[in-house]
Amino acid sequence: MNFKDTLLNGNEGLFKPASLTPMQKLALRFVVTGILFYGLTALEGMIMRVYQVKPIPTFNSEHYFSLLTAHPLVGIFGSSYSIVFGAFLFLVPFFMKKPLWSIKMGNWTFILVAGGTFVFWFSDFLTHFAPLYTLYWPLPADFTQFNPLSGSFFILGIAIVMVGTLLFVFNIFKTITYTPEGYEKVPGCAMLASATGFSWKESIFRRKSKRRENLVSLPVAAVARGTVDTLLNALIITFTGVLILVYMIAAVMGFNLEHSAIDALLYKNWFWWGLDLIADGLVLIFVAGTWYILATMISGKELYMARIARLALWVELVVSWTVWSHHLLSDQAQPGYLKVVSGELVTAFELITQGLAFFITLITLWSARPLKMTNPLKFLLGGLLGFGLAVPAGIIQADIGLNRILHNTQWIVGPHVHVAILVGLTMTLYSAIYLLLPILTNGAKLYSQKLANFHFWAHLTGGIGMGAFMGMAGLKGMLRRTIYYEGEYRIYMILAGICGALLFLAFLAFLYNIIMTVGIKGVFGIFTPAESDTKELLPENK
């Protein structure tokens, strides 16, 4: 096939969108949209990297901080949520061997998450509403700096994403507990207890001979436990959004509500409790669950210490509800006992739970030795390395003594946040995408292995390098969320910028490779209605 044919029809014309089931289309829609939002996040990141090297005169600070507000939110909701939701709406029915409860609801989740992300991004792009994702009270309601109307559209976009998220949560739990027509009746409550971990005593304290089998498999349990945090987080963000919206609508109508009616420290505790359900909850639980799924699918072996892995997921869930105070170690009014217990000690548990997931995954892979170094395997190892680097970096900053000299520096956002998300999470998601690509596309063949190799190395070195140079600048006192005009940390920012450019090139190589694999017609075909109305995951002949 010549270049033009491949570009239009995909590699060897193997991808036929007409052959896809509604479920395959649903999963692919999420993945393609998630990849495109990742591209937008990466582009915004590159603009900010350039700005950190030398502020661009035509690009004022309002514009810069509006980018800084949109960048993580598009990355989390538009990209990571989309890819994860798409994968799990497909994998939960796959592992439970029954159809998704509602494909229609799945499609609504897709529309709301993608549409909501676009609304808040576009509102930010046009109006430069910039309270950052932290929204520290009363900044989002400070109408001397921000227009309440533009803020309302921003919050509306977030609210739309949250509605989509709640539909995802409902669909997942309903899929776990319902009995499809013609299937043997399943005990819904017991399934739910097994999935969320409320039957944990059963598997720990009962004798092995008397122990009953878990009703749901480990991958489904991982998804369910992460989804509990997804639910709680969506409720907190929705509540916070409504609170902010009340102030905004009042201001639009000419009333100025008192900021002091809300206690800024209580709000900060409440908001971080909810926000940490993403950072220290669903991300870590979903990632651990995805590692287990990938390790068993790549190795073809049972998961090593599956019972311990299941318990660790439950511990991670409980830990995620109690770690928020590590974000308030530099708040002097925060009670000392919360700083020590929640901020330091409980947070240190993440080293244990994530360390267990790390080793269980490696040992499972090792048990199938020798393995071929496939794309899913190499990206999985990259993801493991990412968290191997980022989790201890987080434990270091979650220390009362060290936080005093690290809080809000580039250390936090470099070696911890960016390495965790870009190397740890994103490479894990790439591993899943490379693994699921032939399954979701009914056998499409990857266009270029050389491009996949470049994608891997450029992403890995770019991600670790960027985090490292940001961290070095942070240790020299460079703050995050600020602008330096006198070239104070320029050498570090140039090096971080080069690594950022590598990351961006890696993304372009991946995007080009995927487009050439499925073709432009194939990409558009994913978004057209499916020809069959089967509830099955895969076509009957597969």
Partner 1 sequence: MVNSELVLNGQTYAYTIYAIVVILFILGFAYQVTKPGKAGVLKTSLFVVLVVCLTVLGVSLHITTSKTIPWVPMDLNRADIKPDKVFNITVVKHQFQLPSDKLEMKKGDIVVFDVTSNDLTYGFGIFRQNKTMVCQMQVVPGHKNDLMWKFEESGTYTIRSTEYSGPEGHQMILKDVVIVNE
Which residues inside 209-228 make contact with partner 1, applying CB under 8 A? none
Q: Which of 389, 422, 436, 514 binds partner 1 (CB under 8 A)?
A: 389
Which residues inside 243-262 make contact with partner 1, applying CB under 8 A? 259-260
- Interface with partner 1 includes 156 (CB under 8 A)? no
Residue listed under structure tokens 């995954």:
361
Output the six-digit token pair for 419.
């390495």
Residue number, 365 or 526, with CB nearest to partner 1 = 365
Residue 152: CB minimum distance to partner 1, A: 18
Binding residues for partner 1, rule CB under 8 A, total 86
Residue 102: CB minimum distance to partner 1, A: 41
Q: What is the 3-state secondary structure (H, E, C) of 215-230?
A: CCCHHHHHHHHHHHHH
Give residues with Cβ within 8 angstroms of 110, minimum separation 6: 26, 29, 30, 33, 82, 85, 86, 164
Which residues inside 270-329 make contact with partner 1, applying CB under 8 A? 304-305, 308, 328
Output the six-digit token pair for 173.
């739990």
Residue number, 489 or 510, with CB nearest to partner 1 = 489
Which residues inside 124-143 make contact with partner 1, applying CB under 8 A? 130-132, 134, 136-139, 142
Q: Which of 2, 373, 529, 541 binds partner 1 (CB under 8 A)?
A: 373
Residue listed under structure tokens 């895969």:
538
Cα of first residue to Cα of last residue in the chain, in angstroms, is 26
Q: Pick the stretch among 206-214, 230-238, 350-358, 504-512 that binds partner 1 (CB under 8 A).
A: 350-358
- Interface with partner 1 includes 469 (CB under 8 A)? no
Q: Which of 87, 162, 468, 509 binds partner 1 (CB under 8 A)?
A: 468
Residue number, 221 or 468, with CB nearest to partner 1 = 468
Q: Which of 1, 56, 204, 352 binds partner 1 (CB under 8 A)?
A: 352
Residue 118: CB minimum distance to partner 1, A: 24
Q: Which of 56, 204, 246, 368 binds partner 1 (CB under 8 A)?
A: 368
**CA distance to 320, 366, 506, per residue, from 203 (Å):** 22, 26, 44
Output the six-digit token pair for 121.
């991004």
φ and ψ at 483, to 5 degrees? Answer: -125, 135
Give residues with Cβ within 8 angstroms of 247, minimum separation 6: 138, 140, 141, 148, 257
DSSP 396-414: HHSSHHHHHHHTTBHHIII
Which residues inside 486-515 make contact with partner 1, applying CB under 8 A? 488-489
Which residues inside 36-95 make contact with partner 1, applying CB under 8 A? 60-62, 64-65
Residue 415: CB minimum distance to partner 1, A: 7
- Looking from the CA of 338 toward its CB, the CA atoms found within 13 Å total 16
Q: Pick the stretch among 16-24, 118-126, 184-192, 342-350 that binds partner 1 (CB under 8 A).
A: 342-350
Any alpha helices (H) in 178-305, and if so which ranges?
Answer: 188-196, 200-205, 218-252, 264-277, 283-299
| Separation CA 225–CA 314 (nearest Å) | 7
Residue number, 149 or 264, with CB nearest to partner 1 = 264
- Interface with partner 1 includes 405 (CB under 8 A)? yes
- The answer to whether the beta carbons of residues 409 and 368 sit under 8 Å apart is no
Residue number, 6 or 127, with CB nearest to partner 1 = 127
